[in-house]
Amino acid sequence: MLITAYWVLTCLMISATVLPLSHMGAWWIRDLDFPRLHFVIISFIVGIAACLTLDISHIYTKLIIAIHIICFSYHAYWILPYTIFFPKSVAKSKYDNTKNSISLFSSNVLTPNKNTQALKDLIAEYKPNILVTLETDKRWQAALDELKVDYPYTVACPQDNLYGMHVYSNLPLENTRIEFLIEDNIPSIHACIKHPSGAKIRAHFLHPAPPSPTENASSSERDAELIVVAKSLASDDGPIIVTGDLNDVAWSKSTQIFRRLSNLQDPRIGRGMFNTFHADHWFLRWPLDHIFHSKHFTVEEIKRVYLEGSDHFALYSRLQLEVNPNESTPINTEVTEDDRELIKRRETEQNSANKKVHNPT
């Protein structure tokens, strides 16, 4: 019975490791990208337990241990960059120059959350230049209207479908627009931030729908939105910031492709995972809320902030706009042939979905 239990656990771990290697976008496969840290822990525990409770000289015991060593190593490879044991991808700012800094506070508030004052208190405490709110509806918009005194530049897209979005800024915004890049009810906000230094920072605020049994059956829509934005940034050599709830983990294939296509950097590399969801369950957390930027920035601070009433932690980021762009580069910057195949597959899937919508049978 004991050896059978170990084999069941081992087969499940093999499946959880092998299935995400495919390009299939089914939600139950893509969601296996999320708990890689959990798989590391499980493989470690099962491998140690097998050593202690089974006959180590038996070939089946050796095979079980070997499999869990491989699974442990594979999943650890993906999450290692998002620990303090990995070199930082983005340098820490060498000085605190208020004129050159920019701070952002991105918060998925959870639409039913009625504690709007908690967010306003956090904004008063952190005083970010840019506030991005996700899942905000008209009720939230009315509650946050008082922020316009200090944040006169706003873009509002209230919705009742958990995908409303607002941007509040104390820096001038130009060329603001709300776009529905892939799905008709999933907005994104795009703008140009006029920085006090004279620089114009291209900014994109995203919240694509996740692959899940209650949302989209496939990751195609989410991945396609990330690809569209990444391609639009690829040839831009000016300062860029992308933030929001991507409903994807930092180490997934789709997010890695987004970074490689856009040439943006992830300041969390070498600093930590900054798991923002789920705020109420410490044992089930992953980094769904993100901040990416171009090589023009260094990092002053990144912080996860608890927001009472929400299922997400907020993400506070303070960056320094450098006069001379830093030399550090993101890991794995080259778009591989496997990346191109996945990009082509997601674009094909999305084109087919669009045809079905516009040409219903």
Summarize pLDDT for 110-163 with one digit per residue, the tens: 999 999 999 999 999 999 999 999 999 999 999 999 999 999 999 999 999 999
Summarize pLDDT for 235-258 with one digit per residue, the tens: 999 999 999 999 999 999 999 999
Question: In whole angstroms, what is the distance from residue 32 CA to residue 22 CA?
Answer: 11
Instruction: Output the average pLDDT for the chain.
Output: 93
Answer whether 304's CB lies under 8 Å from 313's CB.
yes
Mapped onto helix, strand or coil, the DSSP state of residue 75 is helix
Strand partners, 293: 241, 265
331 falls in which pLDDT band (50, 70, 90)?
low
Residue 327 has pLDDT above 60, yes or no: no
pLDDT, mean of residues 27-46 = 97
pLDDT, mean of residues 259-283 = 96
Question: In whole angstroms, what is the distance from residue 248 CA to residue 333 CA?
Answer: 19
CA distances 1 to 4, 5, 19, Å, are 5, 6, 27
359 falls in which pLDDT band (50, 70, 90)?
very low
Amino acid 360: pLDDT: 35
Answer whether 306's CB lies under 8 Å from 279's CB.
yes
pLDDT, mean of residues 282-297 = 96
Amino acid 95: pLDDT: 76
Amino acid 96: pLDDT: 72
Q: How many CA atoms lie within 13 A of 74 on its CB side?
A: 18
Summarize pLDDT for 166-176 with one digit per residue, the tens: 999 999 999 99
Residue 25 has pLDDT above 70, yes or no: yes
88 falls in which pLDDT band (50, 70, 90)?
very high
Longest dimension (CA), the chain: 72
Q: DSSP letters of 270-304? A: TT-----B-TT-TTS-B--EEEEE-TTEEEEEEEE
Answer whether 311's CB lies under 8 Å from 285's CB.
no
Question: In whole angstroms, what is the distance from residue 283 CA to residue 293 CA?
Answer: 29
Summarize pLDDT for 172-212 with one digit per residue, the tens: 999 999 999 999 999 999 999 999 999 999 999 999 999 99
98 falls in which pLDDT band (50, 70, 90)?
confident
Place of tokens 């840290």: 37
Q: Which residue has the higher pLDDT, 324 or 71?
A: 71
First vs last C-alpha separation in the chain: 53
Question: In whole angstroms, what is the distance from residue 89 CA to residue 265 CA?
Answer: 7
Question: In whole angstroms, what is the distance from residue 246 CA to residue 198 CA?
Answer: 30
Amino acid 361: pLDDT: 30
